[in-house]
């Protein structure tokens, strides 16, 4: 994995899409030169869909899974981000813009034409999962994944993910994402922030690893923006929102993503 320019990363994380002028031009140029900030783009719905499908066709599931494991072991959320994007794209439909009672497409939530602040999308990528499932978000995540070189996971990376699986496997039936993410942050060697640990579990939901059978992950089906939620007060992403400890870890999804690593693919709770 290439080294991270901490100054550029700080600039990126401080970028406010509602007030882009608050980022000094010199700072933006510095982070842009470091490959973290990007100029805004104008893109139509149909071009965004085509971009996402093109990037998915060019992506490699093994590479995505490898980077995820590296991101777990090295505590680098951007290395983990492509997992959720790839998962959502698994059954993403090729479709033209559809008129609805809302201004955005009911299939993918993109508008007919959009001005996209890619610097903000880039900052979202550093949370470790997709924030919004619009096609240009998915396309950007997968494109950046291909341009980064995360390398192959080592034994320590695999062991760290197995420790997380062991934590989940030991969950009581009443466990919820809210209680689980608190335990995750206390796991030795895990240095995730509150936001990162939440998004980590949400990524496992997108990937189908943490799911309720009635609300499967995106590797099993595509669901548009009108996703249900467990309660009106819930702020967890679908489908991990519906997961509880009794659902455990979906072994089928583990094999789907990590068949190259028997230590993970054949994992069983203690």
Residue 134: inside a domain, yes or no?
Answer: yes
Per-residue pLDDT tens for 183-197?
999 999 898 999 999
14 and 133 both lie in a single domain: yes
14 and 122 both lie in a single domain: yes
20 has a pLDDT exceeding 90: yes
Residue 67: inside a domain, yes or no?
Answer: no
208 and 248 both lie in a single domain: yes
116 and 229 both lie in a single domain: no
Residue 207 buriedness (CB in 10 A; 0-12 / 13-18 / 19+): buried
Q: Using alpha carbons, list the distances in angstroms from residue 234 to 124, 126, 184, 229, 247.
A: 20, 23, 19, 7, 19
32 and 138 both lie in a single domain: yes
pLDDT at 62: 97
pLDDT at 233: 81
Query: Assign residue 129 a region: left if phi > 0, alpha if psi is -120 to 50, beta otherwise?
Result: beta
Per-residue pLDDT tens for 60-108?
999 999 999 999 999 999 999 999 999 999 999 999 998 877 789 999 9
Residue 74: inside a domain, yes or no?
Answer: no
pLDDT at 253: 98
Q: Among all chains, which residue has been given the structure tokens 């455990």?
A: 248
142 and 185 both lie in a single domain: no
38 and 11 both lie in a single domain: yes
97 with 123: CB under 8 angstroms? no
Residue 71: inside a domain, yes or no?
Answer: no
pTM: 0.96
130 and 188 both lie in a single domain: no
1 has a pLDDT exceeding 80: no
Residue 184: inside a domain, yes or no?
Answer: yes
240 and 120 both lie in a single domain: no
214 with 223: CB under 8 angstroms? no
The count of domains in the chain is 2
Beta bridge partners of 103: none
Domain boundary among 100, 130, 147: 147
Q: What is the dihedral of CA 202, 203, 207, 209, to 10 degrees?
A: -60
Average pLDDT over residues 137-147: 97
Alpha carbons 15 and 192: distance in angstroms, whole number: 21
- Maximum separation of any 2 CA atoms in the chain, in Å: 54
Average pLDDT over residues 193-214: 96
pLDDT at 52: 98
Residues 6+ away with beta carbon under 8 Å from 135 = 45, 48, 49, 51, 52, 92, 108, 110
126 and 253 both lie in a single domain: no
Residue 70: inside a domain, yes or no?
Answer: no
pLDDT at 204: 98
Instruction: Give me the domain span that covers residue 172.
Output: 155-265
Q: What share of the chain is helix, strand, coil (3-state, %, to 5)?
A: 50, 5, 45
Residue 69: inside a domain, yes or no?
Answer: no
Alpha carbons 194 and 216: distance in angstroms, whole number: 25
- Please state, rounded to an integer, the average pLDDT across all residues of the chain: 95
38 has a pLDDT exceeding 90: yes
Per-residue pLDDT tens for 107-125?
999 999 999 999 999 999 9
Q: What is the DSSP string of 48-84?
A: HHHHHHHHHHH--HHHHHHHHHHHHHTT-HHHHHHHH
Domain boundary among 117, 147, 177: 147
Retrieve residue 142's tokens: 């997968």
Domain boundary among 123, 147, 171: 147
The band of 138, judged by pLDDT with boundaries at 50, 70 and 90, is very high
236 with 248: CB under 8 angstroms? no
54 and 104 both lie in a single domain: yes
């Amino acid at each position: 994995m290439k080294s991270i320019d901490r100054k550029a990363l700080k600039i990126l994380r401080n970028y406010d899409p509602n007030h882009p002028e608050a980022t000094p031009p010199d700072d933006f140029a510095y982070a842009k030169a470091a490959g973290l900030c990007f100029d805004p783009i104008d893109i139509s719905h149909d071009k965004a869909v085509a971009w996402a499908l093109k990037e998915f066709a060019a992506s490699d599931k093994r590479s995505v899974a490898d980077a995820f494991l590296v991101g777990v072991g090295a505590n680098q959320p951007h290395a983990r981000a492509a997992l959720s994007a790839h998962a959502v794209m698994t059954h993403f439909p090729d479709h033209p813009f559809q008129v609805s009672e809302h201004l955005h497409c009911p299939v993918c939530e993109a508008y007919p034409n959009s001005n996209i602040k890619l610097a903000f999308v880039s900052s979202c990528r550093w949370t470790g999962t997709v924030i919004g499932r619009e096609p240009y978000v998915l396309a950007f995540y997968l494109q950046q994944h291909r341009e980064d070189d995360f390398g192959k996971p080592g034994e320590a990376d695999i062991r760290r993910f197995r420790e997380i699986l062991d934590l989940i496997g030991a969950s009581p039936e009443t466990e919820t994402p809210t209680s689980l993410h608190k335990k995750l942050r206390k796991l030795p060697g895990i240095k995730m922030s509150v936001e990162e640990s939440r998004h980590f579990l949400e990524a496992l939901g997108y990937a189908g690893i943490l799911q309720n059978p009635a609300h499967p992950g995106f590797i099993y089906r595509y669901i548009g923006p009108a996703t249900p939620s467990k309660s009106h007060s819930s702020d967890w992403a679908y489908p991990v929102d519906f997961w509880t400890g009794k659902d455990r870890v979906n072994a089928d999804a583990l094999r789907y993503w990590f068949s190259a690593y028997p230590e993970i693919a054949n994992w069983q709770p203690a």
